[in-house]
Amino acid sequence: MADAHLLTGITVVDFTQFLAGPVVTQSMAEMGAEVIKVELAPLGDPGRYLPLMKENRSGYFIQQNTAKKSLCLDINQQQGKSMITELLRKADVMVENFSPGVIAKLGFGWEAVHQLNPRLVMCSVS
C-alpha cells in the first residue's frame, strides 16, 4: 500500500487515554509517525489496568499502544515538565483527550505549546 508510511518523519506527542484518543494516535503510528505516549506518574495510563489481562498486561492497552514509544513522567516535578517541554519543542503534532481545560491546567494548553513551537499542530479529541 503506497500510503502505509504517509506520516514517516512526523513526531507525535500523545497525551491520550481511553478509546478515541489512543485510536487516533495508533492510526498515526501505523502510518509511520513516531508516536511518543506520555503517561502521567505515578500509575501511568489507566488503560494498563483494564481487563482482559494476560500475564498482568491489558489486552486493550497493548492493542491501542502498539508501535508507540512510551514514558511515564511526573508532571508536578520540574524534571517531568522540562522533558515534556523538550518533546513539544521538537514535535510536529500533539494529541490530547483530557476533559476540557485540563491540558491548560497542566501547563500545556494551546497558548503555551504554540509559544514553544509555532509549527506544532495540536489536536484535542473528545
pLDDT in tens, 65-78: 999 999 999 999 99
pLDDT in tens, 38-92: 999 999 999 999 888 888 889 999 999 999 999 999 999 999 999 999 999 999 9
pLDDT in tens, 9-37: 999 999 999 889 999 999 999 999 999 99
Residue type at 73? Answer: L
Which single residue is written with the C-alpha cell 494551546?
110
CATH superfamily assigned to domain 2-124 = Crotonobetainyl-coa:carnitine coa-transferase; domain 1 (3.40.50.10540)
- Reported pTM: 0.92
Q: Measure Cα distances from 11 to 14, 49, 89 in Å.
A: 10, 27, 11
Domain chopping of the chain, boundaries: 2-124
